[in-house]
Amino acid sequence: MKSRYSKEFRSSIRLSELPRPKWWAHWIRFFKSFEVCFFKVLEILALYRSQKSILAIPTLATPGFTSLQAVVFNGTQEEVLGFKPRRLFHRILRGIPDLEFFERVKFQVSFSENNLRTIEASSEARGFLHLQMPWQLPETSPRVSWVRIQPTGVETIFGKVKIGDYQLLSAPVFFLNEKIDSVIISDIDDTIKDSNVAKSTSFYSILNGLLKGHYYQYEAIEGMAEFYQSLARQNSMIVYVTSTPYELAPFLLKFLRDRQFPEGPVFMRWLGYGRFGHKWRTINRVLSQVSHQKCILIGDSGEQDLQIYRRICETADYGEKVKKILIRHVPGTPIQKAVNKREIFYSELSELKQEIESVLKY
């Protein structure tokens, strides 16, 4: 069992961690090409000029690979966050994010003063980019750098077409190097923010959110931001792994920023992946690059976090790197039982602090 999952993980590594587009993606690109040409004519005639935004997502550079992530939206970030879409369909269903397809984006990452690496890729029919580059860290690297992004045009059947104005929002890239003492891999929903899954997933709530556009407002669990900030000051890297889809990146990143959670790599889910597979693959990739750092996994009982973490610990290459699994009991969910001494269940923040401090102080 262990070898099968390890082999599956190793064989899946490639430039893009996402499946290749299906046949329908070619039709989307075909119709997108004519849409782009139409608006290009309007732009030349000074009748209309497109406005787009490219949002980079905080990411991770490790000794073996570097992840790059960005989402492309139609409209400015203020329009996206304010549910003021430009296209008619998205004005009616305001809760559906208005992604831009087949946008080509150039990434630049500075690993040191004289070490600048560049790659260009397309958002394809997903509206976002997630690349995994085989860029290894140099002997000396900073704790954090910045990902620079630049649009290079829309990918059409006629070639690349540059159109419209872009609002660019860069993001940090965090280096998993010798300066990091511990890695805290944390879920988000019901772990650091209240999701109210029972209420937010009812038919009325979903329909109301789609039509009125107030579905993605989050509340932080009291005290979690301050505690995570204290961990970051102790040379801990906080890695956020969430089932929230890329389409909601502006709302999630705004939540983390406004509630003053420490910055760290954020790995979101493509809707084409299941929640279990997404988290399992992401955490395995991170743990495969951990050397001397202590690792702690934090999740909740509202989803499958415990089952995912257990499966990871069954993997011979990574399991011993995990010092503790900490699961927050969400009210209304079944009481779970530990099968290993490193599995701890908590209800109060004080319990979480005590368990983490017992790992970090040795």
> What CATH number is attached to the domain comprising 231?
3.40.50.1000
Is 4 within the bounds of a domain? no
Q: How far apart are CA 308 and CA 289, in angstroms?
A: 19
Are 200 and 314 members of one domain?
yes
User: In the listed set 122, 147, 175, which residue is the last one of a domain according to the structure?
Assistant: 175
Is 273 within the bounds of a domain? yes
Question: Average pLDDT, stretch 57-64?
Answer: 95
154, pLDDT greater than 70: yes
pLDDT for 7: 41
Q: What are the beta bridge partners of residue 161?
A: 154
Helix (H, G, I), strand (E, B) or coil at 349: helix
Please state which of the ranges 17-26, 63-72, 179-188 shows the lowest mean pLDDT: 17-26
Please state which of the ranges 18-22, 279-283, 301-305 shows the lowest mean pLDDT: 18-22
Is 5 within the bounds of a domain? no
| DSSP track, 329-352 | PPTTSPPP--SSTTEEEESSHHHH
Q: How confident is the model at residue 222 (pLDDT cuts 50, 70, 90)?
A: very high
Tokens, residue 32: 């997108």
Are 104 and 186 members of one domain?
no
Q: How confident is the model at residue 2 (pLDDT cuts 50, 70, 90)?
A: very low
Q: How far apart are CA 41 and CA 38, in angstroms?
A: 5
Q: How many domains does the chain have?
A: 2
Are 197 and 324 members of one domain?
yes
What is the pTM for the complete model shown? 0.91
259 by Cβ neighbours in 10 Å (0-12 / 13-18 / 19+) ranks as middle
Is 187 within the bounds of a domain? yes
Among the listed residues 342, 315, 318, 325, the one whose alpha carbon sits nearest the alpha carbon of residue 3: 315
Domain at 132, CATH number: 2.60.40.10
pLDDT for 197: 56
Q: How confident is the model at residue 13 (pLDDT cuts 50, 70, 90)?
A: very low
Question: Average pLDDT, stretch 269-275?
Answer: 82
Tokens, residue 72: 């492309």
Is 1 within the bounds of a domain? no
CB atoms within 10 A of CB 278: 22
Is 330 within the bounds of a domain? yes
Are 166 and 199 members of one domain?
no
Are 331 and 229 members of one domain?
yes
Half-sphere exposure of 137 (CA within 13 A, CB side): 21
Please state which of the ranges 88-97, 177-186, 289-298 shows the lowest mean pLDDT: 88-97
106, pLDDT greater than 70: yes
Question: Average pLDDT, stretch 141-145?
Answer: 90
Tokens, residue 160: 């690349």
CA angle, 348 as apex, 347 and 350 as ends, to 5°?
Answer: 140
CA angle, 14 as apex, 319 and 317 as ends, to 5°?
Answer: 15
Considering the chain, what is the average pLDDT of its residues? Answer: 88
Cα 58 from chain centroid?
8
One-letter amino acid at 76 equals T
Are 168 and 279 members of one domain?
no
pLDDT for 238: 97
pLDDT digits 0-9 by tens, 296-322: 999 998 878 999 999 998 887 777 889
Are 217 and 354 members of one domain?
yes
pLDDT for 202: 63
Highest mean pLDDT among 51-60, 132-141, 192-201, 264-273: 51-60
Are 136 and 189 members of one domain?
no
CB atoms within 10 A of CB 159: 9
Domain extent, residue 161, equals 13-175
Are 153 and 198 members of one domain?
no
Q: How far apart are CA 333 and CA 331, in angstroms?
A: 6
Tokens, residue 297: 């996994």
User: In the listed set 175, 190, 206, which residue is the last one of a domain according to the structure?
Assistant: 175
| DSSP track, 198-248 | HHHTSHHHHHHHHHHS-----EEPTTHHHHHHHHHTTTEEEEEEEEEEGGG
Is 6 within the bounds of a domain? no
User: In the listed set 175, 197, 230, which residue is the last one of a domain according to the structure?
Assistant: 175
Are 85 and 194 members of one domain?
no
Are 114 and 193 members of one domain?
no
Are 296 and 279 members of one domain?
yes
SS3 annotation, 237-257: EEEEEEEEEHHHHHHHHHHHH
